[in-house]
Amino acid sequence: MKKKRIVILGAGYGGLRTLKKLQELRPNAEIVIINKNDYHYETTSLHEVAAGTTEAQKICYPVSCVIDPDQTTFIQDTVVRVDRKEKQVILQKGVPVSYDYLLIGLGFESESFGIQGIREYALAISDIPSVERIRRHIENQFARWKEDHKEERLTIVVGGAGFTSFEFLGELTHRLPALIHRYHILKHQVRIICIESSPDVLPMFDRTLANYGTSKLKRRGVRFVVGRVNRVMPNHVYYKNGDELKVIQTGTFVWSGGVRGSSVIEASGFRQQRGRVRVKADLTVPGNPDILIIGDCSAVIDPESGSPYPTTAQIAMQQADCAAYNLKALVDGNPLKPFVYKWKGTVCSLGRNDAMGQVMGKNLKGYPASIMKKVIDNRSLVKIGGVETMLRKGMFGFTR
C-alpha cells in the first residue's frame, strides 16, 4: 500500500517543532514540509534586528538543520490556499501538493484594523525583510537629517504598547547612543513616542511589572501618549484622544498594534476570525478531522477565562508536541489526545541586561529577568534546532 502523506505548512516554532517530534516518532508516512524561506527565524528576537542591536543572520538557521532527509521532503514555496475538497495545498510557483493529513503552522501578519494608511506608510515587525527594512529606514532618516535638519527625521513613533512594542523600544533606546554619536546629533533632538489607546500598557502583566517597564523606558527618553491611531500619512501620524484629533510629524512610524493569523486561512475558506480558527480540543478543525492547526492561526480557548490563549512561541511549541502525537495517531488509526496548555511564564526584554516577567508564579525584574529571558530563548533553540544550533546561535551574554 502507498504510504499516507503528512504535509506541514510553515517552518516557524510550531511547524518545525512538530516536524522534529514527528520524525522522532517515525510514523509510517511520507512527510512534506512547505515554507516560503529555506530558513527559520526566531520570531521572539525580530525586535533586536529592527532596532539594529543584532544582525539578521544571528537569529536565523537553515530549515535543513531539522530535516531528516530519509523521512522528510522540503519544498520551498509560498502557500496560496488549501483546497480542502481536493485535499491539496495550492502553491504560488509549484504544482499542488496533495495530503492525507495536514498540519497548518503558518505564522502571523500585521493587523491594520482598517486604519487608513497603515499598510501603505507604516513599518511592521513581522519577518526578516520587514525588520531589516526598519533598521535601514531609521539609519537613513538619521543620515538624511545631516542634509536637511528636518525635525521629523529624528522622531520615531511606535503604535501600540504591547509586548513587541516594549521589546523594540527597549532595544532601540540602547541602539540610539551609537546613532547619535555617528551622525553628530544632540540627544535631546531625538524623540521616541509610543501611542497606546489605553493607559494600561502591557495587559498581560500585573501593574507592578508594567509600571517597572514603563518607568524604565521613560527614563531612557520614551514618551507615552494615550490615544488611538486614526490615520497614517507620509511623515504624519494622526491619533484621537477622545474627540480631539492630534498629529505627530515623524519620519518613522512602526506599527505594533496587533496581529492576525496568516491570510491563507481566510483564502482557504475556513471559518475564522482575524485569520484564526477555533480548533477542537485535539487541535483538529471542526468538520475536517484530517487537518490540524496550531500557532498563530489557531484559537484555543482557556477554560478559565473563556477567551483564546495568547498566541506565543510557548503555546505553539506545546501545541506542536501534541500535534505530532496526533498526526501519528491518525496514520495508525489510534485515538487522538486533547491539548492541555501549561503556562510556564512570560519574560519581556527591555534591552541589554534588563527585562521583566513572571516565571513559576514569581515576578522578576532587571538583571535576573534578563538572564531568564536568555535561558528561555536558548531553550527554544535546543527544542527545535538542537544543541549544536543553540551553541552557534544562542545568547550567552550573562555578564552585566
The set of catalytic residues is 167
- DSSP state, residue 273: B
Distance of CA 330 to the CA centre of its chain: 29
Q: Give 77's contacts (C-beta < 8 A, 6+ positions apart).
A: 34, 36, 91, 92, 93, 94
Residues recorded for the chain: 400
Q: Which three cell numbers stand for residue 67?
A: 530535516
Please name the amino acid found at residue 115.
Answer: I
Angle at 50 between CA 48 and CA 53, to 5 degrees: 45
Whole-angstrom distance, CA of residue 56 vs CA of residue 131:
9
Could you give the 3-state DSSP secondary structure of residue 69? coil
Whole-angstrom distance, CA of residue 193 vs CA of residue 217:
11
Q: Greatest CA span in the chain, whole angstroms? A: 73
Whole-angstrom distance, CA of residue 178 vs CA of residue 181:
5
Residue by residue, what is the 3-state secondary structure of 150-186? Answer: CHHHHEEEEECCCHHHHHHHHHHHHHHHHHHHHCCCC
- CB-CB neighbours of 399 under 10 Å: 6
What is the chain's alpha carbon radius of gyration, rounded to the nearest angstrom?
22
Please name the amino acid found at residue 137.
Answer: H
Whole-angstrom distance, CA of residue 184 vs CA of residue 300:
50
- DSSP state, residue 54: S
User: Between the CA of residue 134 and those of 5, 124, 147, 344, what are the distances in Å?
Assistant: 40, 8, 20, 32
Whole-angstrom distance, CA of residue 280 vs CA of residue 368:
38
Q: Give 122's contacts (C-beta < 8 A, 6+ positions apart).
A: 159, 232, 253, 254, 255
Q: Which three cell numbers stand for residue 70?
A: 530519509
